[in-house]
Structure formats: structure tokens, C-alpha cells
Amino acid sequence: MRSAALIAQMSRSELLTLLRGYTSILTKPPPGDYEPANGLGFVRGVERLGVPVLRQTDGQMGVGDPAGNTPSAEATQLPSGLAIAATWNPDLAEEAGAVLGREAYAKGFNVVLAGSVNLIRDPRCGRCFEYPGEDPLLAGVVVGRFVRGVQSVGGIVATVKHFALNAYENGRMQQNVVIDRASAMESDLLAFRLALAIGDPGAAMASYNAINGDYATENHWLLTEVLRDRWQFQGWAMSDFGAVHSTARAALAGLDQESACEADRIIALGGMALLNGALPALRIVARVALSWMTGDIRRHAWFGEALARAVEAGEVPEARLREMARRIVRVMAKHGLLDAPKRNKTVDVDRHAEVAHRAAREAVVLLKNDGSTLPLRRNLNSVAVIGKHADVGLPSGMGSPAVLPIGGNAIRTGRGRLALLRAGVWVPCSPFRNIASRAPQATVTFADGTDIREAERLATRSEVAIVFVHQPAREGQDQSDLSLPLNQDALVRRVAAVAPCTIVVISCGGPVATPWADAVGAILCGWYSGQRGAEAIAEILFGECEPSGRLPVTFPKSLADLPRPQAPATSRGREGSSSPFDIRFDEGAEVGYRWFASRGLPVLFPFGHGLTYTRFHYDSLAVSCEGDKRLARITITNVGDRQGLETVQVYVENSGAGLASSLRLGGWARIGLKPGEAGEAAIEIPAFVFGRWNEYAGCWTIKAGPRRILVGASSRDIRLECVCDVEDATAPP
């Protein structure tokens, strides 16, 4: 094999070269057909043998470095990872991935640090926007297809992350997740397993946190027993940036590559810490200064000279060193990195914007629609558009996945990374203009909502008030609660009290609280909707296209109902401090809707929820056996007077088979129907949905017995059900 031949020719120091990364913030990357301004991290190659530099970019929402601030740094801003999951459309996820892959390639990268596949265990997680929701099947399928899209571009490798159970941002470097292994396999690891099987990514990124006492980067169970042996993963395991804590221990546990080391990361994190207040920033600065003085910074490259010494001392066998490098080179060979042709730098941004547009359209969830508030008529006389920056754009998430959208930031931010981090990225697609152009006879007015009285004045004079509210979110910091900042709840309440009709459009990273829901006529959830989000939202508001998004995550009624009502860490208390702390995931695999169902708790908007402008009738449920799978068939009829797209969901309830009560999404189908039209949804339910993970036997064990099959339009809107018997069986990992 080519990779084996290359490895055989490498000296020890050449092998080591492939195992250590740098950030281009501090170290100049080797020159190449590449724009270092956009660079995030890199790993040196072995030029002598034609093994190229690995040039990494983040990318869950597009290629990017928003602080690059040059037109060449601009990239198509895709809807967020959670928004893509809200489409429940794997084909579209794959198209979105291909947009990312093509743009990364055109900019000179060959490693894309996406897709993110962690489950949302807590709606306060600062990175909800990046993640694909709370169900492992939906998450794994959507991200798997996204990854497949990224890697459909020759010369590009994708990285699934953050492996694993990195469910909180606050104190992410100090947290030790405590969970029983079987539950981990049935939840977060199942999502990873599916994403790997479907997308076949070249790499997996080990997360910052520890799991059951061992950091992910040195967790033998996770990296070797599960990833490598059980799942037969052929790619390489890299670390998150600055996530490595040891040399021999990490290498022997199965980590193949250290991304940019901790010292680099500490400095990069300094900026983020500054945002959280002076104390963490000071701590970090002090820590960097100390490491600098003691020479610790060099030692922090655990896979640099330290690894050479560990091999020398026999602590890490030479064979393991070769294996680490071989895994990387093998992926490079497989994905065409070793013979990448000259890069074509032109990108068809219009075509890419069109994909982002479709994704946004399908992601928008109609949460509430009283009577026929929506769709709006085109012959309105007056509309008030209210909300921060709603005249110019819509927000996006911040942190490593942030992108400088095509057309640049819609708002002026002052100079430098810090100013940008504070102000955020606003995608230059104007809600105001997109609404105004659809109501040609109307007087359309705008208020940014800072002055609530002005907003009330406009709302009183208008037939319809459309209020754009937003929830900022960023990596490195969890939300303290789900309420909207900047007095926006009061804004909505006061507008709703005076306007004849109020519609709220939410741009958010994840679930939010809507204490004003009863006072408004309609609510749309647009997530971070990307390059053409405002246009997609306006199309849905005016009924030019049908709403079809479904919630991939529950909106809870109260934080008191969560498995951990009290967040395990506050950002100020933990980031920058070195004391480890435990987070118990006692809910196990009963994440999100499963948790709320098992406790009988009411929710604000359930998993799977999303209204349409028409109505669907469900009937004739039949479940048949196809090998070890089950196939559910349902007839769906559009009984309304508009066309529409229904996402039919199948859930399996495993209680009554000697199992603790557990509800599982078993599959779904999207079906578009004209008024009066009927169609059949055929949904395959994989065998593992009926079983529990048996850690001892290393497989899924299915116990014979009856199972309830529930079919509906959301996890709480069940229209049909039947009982199906399953036999004793096992299913592979």
C-alpha cells in the first residue's frame, strides 16, 4: 500500500512531524497554494516524500475566519448545524457539506474540522447551534451525510467532533463526565457511530473533557476499544486544540495527532476569556507568562520532542509511532491529498448561496400560528419591522465555527478580533428589505427595538408587526438561562399589547424561552439561518414557500425540568481555572424528549414539532418485518387547501419488554403533497432501536416482546399506533 511504502521511508523525526499541529495565529505556516490569512491550524508535511502540509479550517457553518476581514476570507454562510438538522433532510445536509468542501478546497485547505455531532443534553450549551439536536439517529444520519458531502470533494478530509460527551462549554477543559458506558453507547456514541458509518470521515477529534476519569484524549476505552476496535475506524484520532495532557498515556490510549498545543490555545482563548471578565483573562495571562518563564510552553507540545523522548525511552513503542503516522497518511492517500491537482480557486458562490437558501427554507420551524395569522397577504397596507439590525441582517453563532459571510459583516464592528467577538457576525441579508419587497402597497417602517416606545408607536400604526428577536451564542460559554437578552421579552410583550397582529421571528443558537407566546399570533424559529436566511423567512411569512422545518431539540418549559436544573459550572468560575469537577449524566441515554417523556413533564415545544400551512391526515399504519429491521408504512393525505410537506415520524416505546421505559425515534420520512393528494410513507426502523447496548457482549441485545410503534407529526403529536412483536436477537455495534 502506498501509505505503508511512504511510512517505511520516513525517519523517526519525519514520522513525528505528522503528529503535531500548530496554530497559524502564532506560527507561520509553510508557504503554499493557500491563503494563510484564513488559516487556523496546520500540521507540517514531509516534503521530501510528497506528503503535503495539513491545512485545517473550521467549518460547521462554512469555511471561515471572520476576523480575516478581507474579501478573500469571505465564505458562504450556511445555516447552523442545528438548523440543518431541523430540515430532517439528509440529502440537503449532504449538499451543504459539499458547499463547505468545495469552498475549503478552493481556499487551499485540505482538512475541515466539521461535522459536529454531539448531542444536546442541555439547551443552555453554548454550542447548541453547531450540534444536530438531541436524538442520536437524527444527529448521526444528518451529520454523516454532511460529512459525506464535505468529502465528496477530492483532496478534503472531514473531522467528526467533539469525541465525546462534550455537552457543556463552561469549564470544558476541566469537566469529567460521569456516565455508564452502555448509556453512552446508546446516546452520544451512537450518534458518532452512525455519522462514521455513513460519512466515513478521515478523522475524529477527541474533546476537551474527561469521561469517567480519563481525558478524552487519553481515554483508552473511547479511542481504542470503541473507536478503533469495536467500530473498526480506519481514520486518525486528533485532539481538540490544546486538549492533550500527556505524551505516552495519550499515544498509548489511541490518540494519533496533537492539534495546536495548549500554549497556543491559551493565547487564543485569552480573547474569549476577556469577554467573560477580567479575572479569567488575568489568570490565563498569568498562566501563559509562567509557562513562558519555566519553559513549559515547549513541553506542552506533548507530541513534539516529548514524544521523541518517550519513544527513545521505550515508553511508546516505535511500532505505535508508525501506526499513528500511517493512519494519517493512509487517509491522505485515500482522499487524494497526496496527489491533489492544482487548485481551482473559483467558487460558484451563487450556486452555493442557492443551497444555503434551500437549507434555510427547510430549516425554519413554524412554532405557532393562531388562526390564519400566517401566511401574510401581499396587499397589506402597513407593516412594522422591529428588531436589532433587522434592517441589515440576521445574526450567527460565534467562536471557532464563525464565518465571515459573502458580502462581509452586515454591521460595523470596530477593529480587531475582540471588537468582532463582542459585536458578532450579522449576515448581510436584510429582513426589512425582503419583507418590504413582498408587500408592495404597504408602508413598511423599521425600529431597532432599543427604544420600546418608538417600536410601540410603529406597531400601533401598522396592520402587522414583525419582531425579530435573537439569542447570541458562542463557543466557550454556556447560556445562563434561556431568556432573550437586551430586554427583548419586554419589547415583544409591549408590541403585542398594541399591535393588531404580532409575529415573532427568533434567531437563536438553540432553545429559548417564549414567555410572550400567548400574546402573539405566530412564531417562527429561524435558528442562525445563514447567507439567505432573511429571504427564506420572508418567503415563508408570505406563503411563497411552505414551512417544513421540525425541531431537532425540545424547547423546555422550565429549567427546573432539566436533568440538571442547576448548570454544572459558570463561565467565570471555571474557564481558566484548573480544578477538575464532575458532571454526572445520570439521565444516561434518556436525553431530551426521552427524558421529558419518561418523567411525564410538559414542554414548551416538543421534539419533532413544526406546523405547516395545511393539514395532514394519517391512516393505515402497517408494520412488517424485513430481515432484522422493521418497516412501517403509513398513508398520509393532505386534507388542507394548500400544498405542504409533512415529516412523518416513527417512535418506538420499549417499555413492557423488561426494559425501563424508553422512547426512541425509529425513523422518519418527508412527504410533499398537493391538496387532496395522498401518499405512502415507508419508514425503516433499524434493529438497534428495539434493543439496549450490552457493554459486556459488545453488541445490541434485543429482548423478545411487544413494542409500541407510535407514528405522528412530533414526539407529542401521535396520530396512529400499533403493537409489534420482536424476537430475541442481537445487532452489531
Binding positions for ligand BGC, rule: CB under 6 A: 40, 58, 113, 161-162, 240-241, 400
For 352, the grid coordinates are 452555493
Residue number, 242 or 375, with CB nearest to ligand BGC: 242
| Closest to 708 in 3D by CA, of 669, 652, 663 | 652
Alpha helix stretches (DSSP H) within 56-154: 81-86, 90-106, 136-151
| Residue 167 CB, nearest approach to ligand BGC (Å) | 13
Residue number, 206 or 683, with CB nearest to ligand BGC: 206
3-state class (DSSP) for residue 112: strand
Q: Three-class SS string for 510-529?
A: CCCCCCCHHHCCEEEECCCC
Residue number, 254 or 399, with CB nearest to ligand BGC: 399
80 DSSP 8-state letter: P
Within 10 angstroms of residue 354's Cβ, the number of other Cβ atoms is 16
Residue number, 162 or 609, with CB nearest to ligand BGC: 162
Residue pair 344/106 in contact (Cβ under 8 Å)? The answer is yes
CA distance 252 to 650: 42
| Residue 107 CB, nearest approach to ligand BGC (Å) | 16
Residue pair 469/492 in contact (Cβ under 8 Å)? The answer is yes
For 17, the grid coordinates are 512531524
Q: What share of the chain is helix, strand, coil (3-state, %, to 5)?
A: 35, 25, 45
| Residue 158 CB, nearest approach to ligand BGC (Å) | 12
Measured at the CA of 325, the angle between CA 230 and CA 244, to 5 degrees, comes to: 75
| Residue 161 CB, nearest approach to ligand BGC (Å) | 5
Residue pair 523/517 in contact (Cβ under 8 Å)? The answer is yes
| Residue 476 CB, nearest approach to ligand BGC (Å) | 7
Residue number, 40 or 711, with CB nearest to ligand BGC: 40
Within 10 angstroms of residue 27's Cβ, the number of other Cβ atoms is 14
| Residue 244 CB, nearest approach to ligand BGC (Å) | 13
Residue number, 114 or 484, with CB nearest to ligand BGC: 114
Grid coordinates 497554494 are at which residue? 33
Residue number, 240 or 546, with CB nearest to ligand BGC: 240
Residue number, 241 or 303, with CB nearest to ligand BGC: 241
| Residue 283 CB, nearest approach to ligand BGC (Å) | 18
Residue number, 165 or 709, with CB nearest to ligand BGC: 165
Residue number, 21 or 431, with CB nearest to ligand BGC: 21
Residue number, 161 or 330, with CB nearest to ligand BGC: 161
3-state class (DSSP) for residue 665: strand
Residue with CB nearest ligand BGC?
400
CA distance 383 to 432: 10
Grid coordinates 442481537 are at which residue? 730
Residue pair 64/73 in contact (Cβ under 8 Å)? The answer is yes
Residue pair 305/209 in contact (Cβ under 8 Å)? The answer is no
| Residue 60 CB, nearest approach to ligand BGC (Å) | 8
Residue 711 belongs to what H/E stretch?
strand 705-714
Residue number, 367 or 403, with CB nearest to ligand BGC: 403
CA distance 51 to 44: 9
Report how far apart the first and last C-alpha atoms of the chain are (Å, whole number). Answer: 28
For 314, the grid coordinates are 521505550
Residue number, 23 or 612, with CB nearest to ligand BGC: 23
Query: Which positions ≥6 away from 184 have C-beta within 8 Å?
Result: 164, 165, 211, 589
Q: How far is CA 371 from the centre of its chain?
A: 34
Residue number, 131 or 616, with CB nearest to ligand BGC: 131
| Closest to 135 in 3D by CA, of 149, 148, 123, 118 | 118
| Residue 379 CB, nearest approach to ligand BGC (Å) | 48
Strands (E) across 354-501 are located at: 365-369, 382-386, 394-395, 426-427, 443-447, 464-470
Query: Which positions ≥6 away from 424 have C-beta within 8 Å?
Result: 395, 396, 398, 472
- Partners of 351 in the β-ladder: none
Half-sphere exposure of 17 (CA within 13 A, CB side): 17
